[in-house]
Structure 1
Amino acid sequence: MITLRRAAAADAPAVADVWLRSYTAALPGVRRAHSDDEVRAHIRDVVVPRGTTWVAEATDESARAVVGMMTLDGEKVNALYLAPDWRGRGIGDRFVSLAKELSPTGLTLWAFQVNRPAQRFYERHGFVEVERTDGSGNEEREPDVRYVWRP
């Protein structure tokens, strides 16, 4: 069973692990701006304490595991990552539905141009491309695309 819930402080290590594994699997050619330790510290000390992080938790009779994460800051989806072996199971769809429910007037997000699967995913959910950049405005210096969803 998969449950979506707000992340608690104790979830920070698992959230960081999902982010790191997903980024590595989905974006192997994109330079990471921060080390693993810096990512873990940022998620622990900044991202999760803000209270804008949601997790997908898989549970069975013997274990619980965080298998996805999303940060939503008002209308901005800052991150949506799934553990690589949990993709294609509808979890991303549930995160997007939750984001739309929590921000019914609209959403915006960025995706790297090289991440065509993410772009197709967001377009399938009604997001429309509104801007492309050369990457000079992000830490990775990777060309990206801004998407907007309006009801």
Structure 2
Amino acid sequence: MKRVQLRQLGLDEMDAAASVHRASFDERLPWLTGLHTPAEDRWFYRQRVFPECSVWGAIENDTLLGIIAFREDWIDQFYVLPSAQGKGIGTALLEVAKSKADSLLLWTFQRNNAARRFYEQRGFVAVRETDGSKNEEREPDVLYRWVTS
């Protein structure tokens, strides 16, 4: 990962973070596209994610390639642009969150096999599956947990 800078993002970068979220989400989960508009995504990042989480980004040549938003023992948001996946960016962002906690929890969708493999290869263990009736997407999901070894 040459020239990629990892740093905490500011409020002025929340629109870019929302764009990374949407691009990754729509590419990897096409059956869930259109749930929110870009304006709703921007509002969510500015009003909910940024005030409640530490939001870090991976930046190369002034382009935001990936984001991770975490608080206490939770990863709330974690997205890497599809064109930047497989280059160590997600692992580097995940290490930032791991370095700030003794354990972490996160949700992903059961059908998101690539994300599940990614988390499991980095020490996360599935601890609970749901039918999705309690999430906004109504999509079966899985709760993962990582604990410092």
TM-score (norm 1): 0.91
Please say if residues 126 and 149 of structure 1, whose CA atoms lie closer than 8 Å, have aligned partners that are also in contact. yes
Which of the residues 107, 124, 129 maps onto 1:127? 124
Change (3 A) 1:112 1:32: farther
Give 1:27-106 correspondences, 5 Å limit.
Answer: 27-30=29-32, 33-59=35-61, 64-103=62-101, 105-106=102-103
Which position in structure 1 is the counterpart of 2:142?
Answer: 145
How much has 1:6 moved relative to structure 2? 0.8
Q: Using the alignment, how far apart are the partners of 1:127 and 1:51 within structure 2?
A: 21
Gaps of 5+ in 2: none
Pairwise CA RMSD of aligned residues?
1.3
> What's the % identity of the aligned pairs?
37
Counterpart code for 2:83: D
Question: Is 1:108 aligned to 2:110, yes or no?
Answer: no
Change (3 A) 1:124 1:8: same
Q: Using the alignment, how far apart are the partners of 2:13 and 2:121 within structure 1?
A: 30
Gaps of 5+ in 1: none
- The number of residue pairs the alignment matches comes to 146
Which of the residues 6, 9, 15 maps onto 2:8? 6
Q: Using the alignment, how far apart are the partners of 1:66 and 1:100 within structure 2?
A: 21
Please say if residues 107 and 141 of structure 2, whose CA atoms lie closer than 8 Å, have aligned partners that are also in contact. yes
Which of the residues 19, 22, 37 maps onto 2:21? 19
Please say if residues 33 and 139 of structure 1, whose CA atoms lie closer than 8 Å, have aligned partners that are also in contact. no
